[in-house]
Structure 1
Amino acid sequence: MSTWGGPVDVTLTGGRVVTPDGVLEQGWVAVRDGLIAAVGEGAAPDGPTTDVNGGWLVPGFVDIHCHGGGGEAFTSADPARVIKAANAHRRHGTTTLIASLVSRPVPELADQVKALTELVRDGVVAGIHLEGPFLSAARCGAHDPAILRPPERGAIDTLLDAGGGAVRMITIAPELEHGVDAVRHLVDNDVLAAIGHTDATEAQIRPAVEAGATVATHLFNGMRPLHHREPGPIGALLDDERVTVELICDLVHLHPTAVRLAARHAGVRRTVLVTDAIAAAGVGDGVYDVGGLEVRVVDGVPTLAGGASLAGSTLTMDAAFRNAVASCGLTIEEAVHATATRPAHLLGLAGRTGELRAGLAADLVVLDTELKPREVMSRGAWVKD
């Protein structure tokens, strides 16, 4: 993890602090030994202080769906390249990150999982998300359809065993053979079961949710469209209070109205913004490899070479935050919930990060008045530019 000089003991003053109970207009956050020691308003406690000059103080972002950044993908077996990808997002305020892997043959995917487990233990990434290969060929997007397969228990166990507890979420199309049984098996193993890249009808989605599926992988994208006579996965997942919905808020995958409608219906308890970023995030246009497929990025938009299918994004969470507020009508507090508080709860990290309150890790972002990151702190240490 790239930080500058190790943890600092300082009180950040002069900012608008977004807390679980609301915004402190003249707030302060005291950081001691890598933790938030106290949060308050008015006169700051004794000790060294740093004035954030009217900026917003928000929790560090938590991204539960990200494939890479900084020119690197999480599929790499080289720890230095994975760290580079994580750092590219950390500089944009993402202090907690799940490494997402795309569809590959199970043995190859198991090797990728094994390569990431040490970095999960070291805290570079907070876990692993497998987006495939248990997906619908009809809605595969930027996944190689030749690799896709039903979620048999043996294949799932191979991947879970490879991670030794590091795999936190697996996306499944529940209409596939063994789909609902696979959801139950994941839940029994304390792994989040997500529904995505699915051509299921609403009637096929309901049993998977009853079996314990609790996440909609990038709602709207990679799914049978919403229809007034067949709501499909979008209607079923958005309307079920047990399901948290991911939204890619780059204003390319989703129109602002779609983001607003989904976020208003799901509410702060069920809305999570994600990047679905590929290696191109933070780098720029060019040609990239995503799961063995050639992807071209033009004007910041990745698509499969020779086609129009979107292939992830070049989004960072600070941009998702700004888009949500400036273009989609979310309040600052709602955006904080969607980029930090709710995803931390979903991952079982609510007692460690995701909010600005005493006792949690000092993971925070100082945003300027245009909601652009001015400084990022991870576990009490300032992050390098």
Structure 2
Amino acid sequence: MGEILMLRGRIVTGSTAIDDGVIAVDGEHIAYVGPASGFPGAGEPEQSGLARAGEFILLPGLVDLHCHGGGGSDFSEGSAQAARSAARFLHGTGTTTLLASLVTASSGAMLRNLHAIRSVVEEGLIAGAHLEGPFLSPHQHGAHDPALLREPDPVLLSELLAAAGSTLASMTCAAELPGMLELVDQLTARGVVPSLGHTEADAATAADFLQRAALGLSRGTNSATGPAVRPTVTHLFNLCTTVRPVPSRPASPKHGPEGRWWNLSPMASTLPPTRSGWCSIWSGLTTSPSSQIRWRPRASGTDGTPSAA
């Protein structure tokens, strides 16, 4: 047993909260998480120079699957040093694991960017790369340059996969583009997670995309994603999906301030059979702060609970 790092404060996780808790880390392993009163280490926490209870809130590290940079550096700069700078900044602010998201660019720039990220992944600073484009809907391009978007191209995808090696973890695509299901097969054969986004797909097309991706992912893995992966949906509701809000509703005692209900039916109906996950950006910029989501998973799909990011 090496030197143990101990932290004390209010521990908050997804399933519990401990007002006066201790976390003990032995090397690369978490040795204890629990009440300070039950801490089994030598000596009491108060004798270890730990902060008094309540001074800190201790949270699990953020696992960020969609991040374009940080600290003034962009992962799409094509610079390994810029990627290292962004990763270190994010590690210092609570993100413990992240994918480096790359925006749509020219073919040459995307290949360069993947090479740069690959070297930083191999150093252990980043878990993998996430390609957002170029196979996106020109009608739902968001911040991507519509002039650089492409229809599904298996040759280009092969080049991108070769540049990334085993470090490409996820790729956002529009399901309705011609030939997209064949590209889904190409991605999942390499263990890359297809993510539905920047799309005008209807519910049936979205379901076909997610089900095809789930089937392919069940057959393999890669070092960037690991086992038991599942397809995802990229920033649902954020001005670049086919799911639209129900028109604004008035304020009421029952529902609170004026806002909008988001209609999950088209997309949510695809989640249980494919066990997909989705993320959304609650910035107040692309999603109204007064918007509310009602999520009622079917009994058979409770293990497909969405995640917010």
Q: Same fold (TM over 0.5)?
A: yes
Once residues 58 and 296 of structure 2 are traced to their aligned partners in structure 1, the CA distance between those partners, rounded to angstroms, is 24
Structure 1 range deviating more: 26-35 or 264-273: 264-273
Structure 2 CA distance for partners of 1:74 and 1:227, relative to 1, 3 Å: closer
Identity of aligned residues (%): 33
Q: What's the Cα RMSD here?
A: 2.6
How far apart are the structure 1 equivalents of 2:10 and 2:285? 30
Unaligned 5+ runs, structure 2: 215-230, 247-262
Cα pair 2:110 2:160 within 8 Å, conserved: yes
- Which blocks of at least 5 consecutive residues in structure 1 are unaligned? 1-6, 275-385
Distance (Å, rounded) in 2 between the aligned partners of 1:198 and 1:262: 22
Higher relative contact order (CA 8 A, sep 6+): 1
TM-score of the superposed pair, with normalisation by structure 1: 0.62
User: 1:63 touches 1:273 (CA, 8 Å); kept in 2?
Assistant: no
C-alpha contact 2:131 2:171 (8 A) present in aligned 1: yes
**For the Cα contact (< 8 Å) 1:11–1:49, is it kept in 2?**
no
Residues 103/70 of structure 1: CA separation in 2 closer, same or farther (3 Å cut): same
Structure 1 residues 219 and 21, CA gap change in structure 2 (3 angstroms): closer
Please name the residue that 1:245 is paired with.
278
Distance 1:75-1:22 versus aligned 2 partners, 3 A rule = same
Q: Secondary structure at the match of 1:89?
A: helix
Q: Does residue 1:22 correspond to 2:55, yes or no?
A: no
Partner Cα separation in structure 1 for residue 53 and residue 207 of structure 2:
50
Match of 2:293 in 1: 261
C-alpha separation in 2, matches of 1:158 and 1:218: 26
Deviation at 1:75, TM superposition (A): 1.6
More strand by share: 1
Match of 2:235 in 1: 218
Of 21, 26, 38, the residue aligned with 2:32 is 38
Pairwise CA distance, 1:257: 4.9
Contact 2:196 2:232 in 1 (8 A): yes
Q: What are the Cα deviations for residues 32-68 of structure 1, in whole angstroms up to 9, with x where unaligned?
A: 1132112222142226452253132111111111111
Counterpart secondary structure, 2:22: strand
Aligned to 2:118: 117
TM superposition shift of 1:123? 1.6
Task: Please give the per-residue CA displacement for 1:173-222, whole angstroms capped at 9, x wherever unaligned.
Answer: 01001112212222222111100000112222121112025211000121
Change (3 A) 1:46 1:130: same
Conserved? CA contact 2:19–2:53, under 8 Å = no
Instruction: Determine the structure 2 residue equivalent to 1:272.
Output: 307
Q: Is the 8 A contact 2:10 2:53 kept in 1?
A: no
State whether structure 2 residue 81 is matched by structure 1 residue 85: no
Amino acid of the structure 1 residue aligned with 2:266: A
The 3-state SS of whatever aligns with 2:33 is strand
**TM-superposed deviation, 1:264:** 6.5
Partner amino acid, structure 2, of 1:261: I
Q: 1:215, 1:194 → 2: CA distance?
A: 5
Tell me the amino acid that sits aligned with residue 12 of structure 2.
Answer: V
Q: Take 1:132 and 1:107, find their aligned partners in 2: how far apart are those partners?
A: 14
Distance 2:114 2:34 in 1: 42
Contact in 2 for aligned 1:186/1:193 (Cα 8 Å): yes
C-alpha distance after superposition, 1:19-38 (max 9, x if no partner): 56522332211111132112
Partner in structure 2 of residue 104 of structure 1: 105
Instruction: Report the structure number with the largest CA radius of gyration.
Output: 2
Which is worse superposed, 189-198 or 242-251? 242-251
Q: Is the 8 Å Cα contact of residues 104 and 147 (structure 1) preserved in structure 2?
A: yes
Cα deviation code 1:211-242 (max 9, x no counterpart): 025211000121124377xxxx9643333222
Contact 2:79 2:113 in 1 (8 A): no
Q: Work out whether residues 223 and 234 of structure 1, in 8 Å CA contact, stay in contact via their aligned partners in 2.
A: no
Q: How many residues align?
A: 263
Say which is worse superposed, 77-86 or 67-76, in terms of deviation.
77-86
Matched, 1:50 2:50: yes
1:1-385 to 2 correspondences below 5 Å: 9-13=4-8, 15-19=9-13, 22-41=16-35, 42-44=37-39, 45-46=41-42, 48-51=48-51, 53-54=53-54, 55-212=56-213, 214-221=231-238, 222-226=240-244, 235-239=265-269, 240-241=271-272, 242-258=275-291, 260-261=292-293, 270-274=305-309
Kept in 2, the 8 Å contact 1:174–1:195? The answer is yes
